[in-house]
């Protein structure tokens, strides 16, 4: 009897060693899977594709059930959790975008939120000027708005691909329909809806579409207001107290 017990204890030890070895391989594969999931998310963000695909998730779970023999229920449950955590990892790299009219405070708030969250903040207009070596006014005057919007789309795509950024966008970024799915599917979009009384006092340097003055600002606002509201996850008055905290809370809630 004692001999049999000793043999059983040795077998238990051997089985545990086998399980440990398998666990090690599973961990390596899960790390590799998450790295691939991050690469997948990068390319989806850049193309403006949704991060989540419910139909594909169903197919993956079904394949688990079909391939798992007598352990289909247990393994499909484990795999559902793997997918859930993978999506959480992907969402952590979502950007936070600020959209709105010129002089609505996008760059200022991007700076404040970026510092508060210890994240990199960028300004698409500044990135365009750095890329071209020209001011926004010069690009409009020399090449026209269509050329500017094409460069703007390239810059936005780069930001979406990188992920995890706080991004102040140009006032007209939503006028290019190709930009809308990129913004919506690569991050959280916040519309800074500043009052017209304050917007008309905007500096006109590097703001070619409002160079003609107050009437141009008003026309542009009414022309774009539906686009701003339609594309945003949150609309705030940038001059209200507690705006930064509200924005950060929304952004964090979307990453869960």
What distance in Å separates the CA atoms of residue 104 and residue 196, rounded to the nearest whole number? 9
pLDDT on residue 48: 94
Q: Is the pLDDT of residue 225 over 60?
A: yes
DSSP track, 116-164: HHT--EEEHHHHHHHHHSS-HHHHHHHH-HHHHHHHHHHHHHHHHHH-S
What residues contact 162, with CB distance under 8 A and at least 6 apart? 42
Residue 55 is encoded by which pair of tokens?
């139909």
Handedness of CA 141, 146, 147, 149 (dihedral sign): positive
Residue 111 CA to its chain's centroid (Å): 17
Model confidence at 202, in pLDDT bands (50, 70, 90)?
A: low
pLDDT on residue 50: 93
Does pTM surpass 0.85?
A: yes
Q: What is the mean pLDDT of residues 112-139?
A: 95
pLDDT on residue 122: 96
Model confidence at 212, in pLDDT bands (50, 70, 90)?
A: low
Which of the listed ranges 18-32, 100-114, 201-215 does the model predict with the highest average pLDDT?
Answer: 18-32
**Residues of the chain with pLDDT > 70: what percent?**
94
**Contact predicate 228/174, CB 8 Å:** yes
pLDDT on residue 96: 97
Q: Which domains does the chain have, with CATH numbers?
A: 2-91 (1.20.59.10), 95-254 (3.40.50.300)
Q: Over the stretch 36-94, which tens digit does the pLDDT of each residue have?
A: 999 999 999 999 999 888 898 889 888 888 887 788 888 888 989 999 999 999 999 99
Q: Over the stretch 151-164, which tens digit does the pLDDT of each residue have?
A: 999 999 999 999 99
pLDDT on residue 196: 83
What residues contact 5, with CB distance under 8 A and at least 6 apart? none
Residue 65 is encoded by which pair of tokens?
């059930």
What distance in Å separates the CA atoms of residue 200 and residue 214, rounded to the nearest whole number? 5
What distance in Å separates the CA atoms of residue 103 and residue 7, rounded to the nearest whole number? 79
Q: Is the pLDDT of residue 219 over 90?
A: no
What residues contact 74, with CB distance under 8 A and at least 6 apart? 68
pLDDT, mean over the chain: 90
pLDDT on residue 70: 81
pLDDT, greater one: 6 or 40: 40
pLDDT on residue 73: 86
């Amino acid at each position: 009897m004692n001999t049999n017990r000793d043999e059983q204890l040795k077998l238990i030890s051997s089985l545990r060693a086998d399980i440990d070895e398998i666990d090690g391989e599973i961990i390596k594969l899960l790390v590799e899977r998450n790295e691939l999931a991050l690469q997948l998310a990068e390319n989806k963000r850049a193309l403006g594709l949704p991060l989540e695909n419910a139909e594909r998730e169903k197919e993956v779970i079904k394949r688990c059930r079909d391939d798992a023999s007598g352990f289909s229920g247990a393994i499909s449950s484990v795999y559902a959790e793997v997918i859930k955590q993978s999506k959480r990892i992907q969402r952590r790299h979502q950007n936070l975008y600020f959209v709105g009219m010129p002089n609505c405070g996008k760059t200022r708030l991007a700076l404040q939120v970026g510092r508060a969250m210890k994240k990199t903040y960028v300004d698409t207009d500044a990135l365009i000027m750095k890329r071209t070596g020209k001011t926004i006014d010069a690009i409009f005057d020399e090449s026209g708005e269509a050329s500017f919007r094409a460069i703007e789309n390239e810059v936005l795509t780069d930001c979406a691909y990188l992920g995890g950024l706080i991004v102040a966008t140009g006032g007209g970024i939503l006028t290019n329909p190709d930009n809308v799915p990129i913004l919506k599917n690569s991050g959280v979009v916040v519309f800074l809806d500043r009052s017209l009384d304050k917007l008309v006092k905007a500096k006109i340097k590097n703001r070619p579409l409002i160079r003609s003055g107050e009437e141009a600002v008003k026309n542009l606002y009414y022309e774009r207001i539906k686009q701003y509201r339609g594309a945003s996850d949150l609309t705030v008055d940038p001059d209200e107290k507690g705006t930064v905290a509200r924005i950060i809370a929304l952004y964090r809630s979307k990453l869960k």
